[in-house]
Copies of this chain bind each other. A is one copy, B any other.
Amino acid sequence: MGEAFNPSSVAFPAALPPEQARGEESDALTALARLVHEDLQACNQTIVQRMQSPVELIPRLAAHIVAAGGKRLRPLLTIACARLCGYPDKAEHRGDGLRHVRLAAAVEFIHTATLLHDDVVDESKLRRGLASANAVFGNQASVLVGDFLFARAFELMVEDGSLTVLQILARAAATIAEGEVLQLMTQNDLTTSEERYLNVISGKTAALFAAACEVGAVVAGESAEAQAALRGLGFHLGIAFQLTDDALDYVADQQRLGKTVGDDFREGKVTLPVLIAYEAGSAEERRFWQRTIAESDQREEDLARALGLMEKHGAIAATLARARDYAAKAKAGLALFREGRLREALADAIDYAVNRSR
């Protein structure tokens, strides 16, 4: 913790140049990232530059979570959607042609701020297989650096100068917080309806996906119809992505997902797999869920039983089937846009989001 922060030491998995990426697991997300590789590199540079502060704990803590990597999915969506809409190649696109890059960085800052606050709220010790920022730097610093990154996101938007973009992302930020509070209220509540659960993930996950995509269309000066199509794509993809995460929490192993199996279970998080298994369960099974989830009274063998009940009632398969339905809706949003490598890569990335194993 005593070392000076060195921005060049921050690694960005999703933005590796093709030669460095060789030998890595090749997937549709990586393929999409390669198509917009230079934009992503520029975005990562913007992120590193703009998380600087004379208060040295800020870049140090921010680097910890930024360097941890993750899929960098949201800025990738902003960049890919802008490119899909032809930005910045058309004559009417004034400026430096880097609006999508700056706004992708703003989107990632909002996401990173919410991750920092989430880990404090969930008391998480791990994030993507590494110690979480709150575990290393404490809850206090995580809350405050989250606030800093959130403010920085708005500074980047102000520099961009579009009130439409500001409106989209300010609204998204409020909606994320609403989703998180709703999640807090439904936590441990097995009577949560599927509709209410969808409201939670619409807020906490899909709102930012939707905004990230919509912003791409806005910088390209696309029609309201195209903006709405990409907004819808992002929204449905966000739901699909979160449902897949919720399912994988009960199947992935620690090495692959970067977190232990059953984290949601241990936290008493009511996700769709649990709701499906509870709904279909016998009276005795429901008492099991009551004790473990509603009353947070868990013993060592309970996770295995939970996995067994999910298997019995096909809860994981049903959750993934729902995810694939949303992915199909997301892909339908692409019909409006010109065919080509980028559109194909986006469609593949959407498929990957629901077929991944981590």
Contacts and interface: CB of A to CB of B under 8 A. Distances in A.
Interface in A142-161: 143-148, 150-152, 154-155, 157-158, 161
A1 to B, nearest CB: 11
B177 A158 contact: no
Nearest to A171: B155
A184 B151 contact: no
A170 B182 contact: no
B143 A170 contact: no
Contact of A178 (B58, B113, B174): B58
A231 to B, nearest CB: 17
A84 B177 CA distance: 36
B145 A174 contact: no
Contact of A53 (B54, B167, B171, B178): B178
B148 A158 contact: no
B150 A181 contact: no
Chain A interface main SS type: helix
A192 to B, nearest CB: 14
B173 A151 contact: yes
Contact of A148 (B151, B154, B177): B177
Given A154-B170, A158-B170, A171-B155, A144 B180 contact: yes
Contact of A155 (B113, B144, B151, B174): B174
A176 B57 CA distance: 15
Nearest to A147: B177
A9 interface: no
A170 B148 contact: no
Contacts of A163: 158, 161, 163
5 contacts: A144-B180, A148-B177, A148-B181, A154-B173, A155-B170
